[in-house]
Amino acid sequence: MPIPNPQAGESQDDFVSRCVSQIYDEYGQEQSVAICITKYNEMNSIKRKNEQKSVLSRMNKYREDELKGINLKDDGSYDLKEPCWSGYEQYGTKIVDGREVPNCIPID
């Protein structure tokens, strides 16, 4: 009989109990418990890895979007390619939270 997979939101205790009852006749008590615990841990490990990949993907996408308007130089410094949003133009700079940033005003 195939070893079942954990269901979404199923606790380890609930899964092991359900799993052991399904494979007990084939593997016996101790082996069934070991197989079911291993299966539960493997499936959760895969789920965690997929969640981590998703988070990293979103972070990388954010980082790419953040860097689109920046011209990185070889010495580690940078210039802003387009410091203002579409429909705005830079009119000097201003200080925000202790940093000098472009002062963007609407184009008339």
> Considering the entire predicted model, what is its pTM?
0.46
Give per-residue pLDDT as tens, 26-79: 999 899 999 999 999 888 888 888 787 887 777 776 666 555 556 666 776 666
What SS3 state is found at 20? Answer: helix
Sign of CA dihedral 23, 27, 30, 34: negative
Q: Where do the domains of the chain lie?
A: 1-68, 78-108
One DSSP character per residue, 60-95 reads HHHHHHHHTTEEE-TTS-EEESS-S-TTEEEEEEEE
pLDDT of residue 81: 63
Phi-psi region of 71 (alpha: psi -120 to 50; beta: other; left: phi over 0): beta
Q: Does the pLDDT value for residue 92 go beyond 90?
A: no
pLDDT tens per residue across span 7-19: 888 898 998 999 9
Q: Which two tokens stand for residue 79?
A: 């210039």
Q: How many helices (H) and strands (E) does the chain have?
A: 2, 4
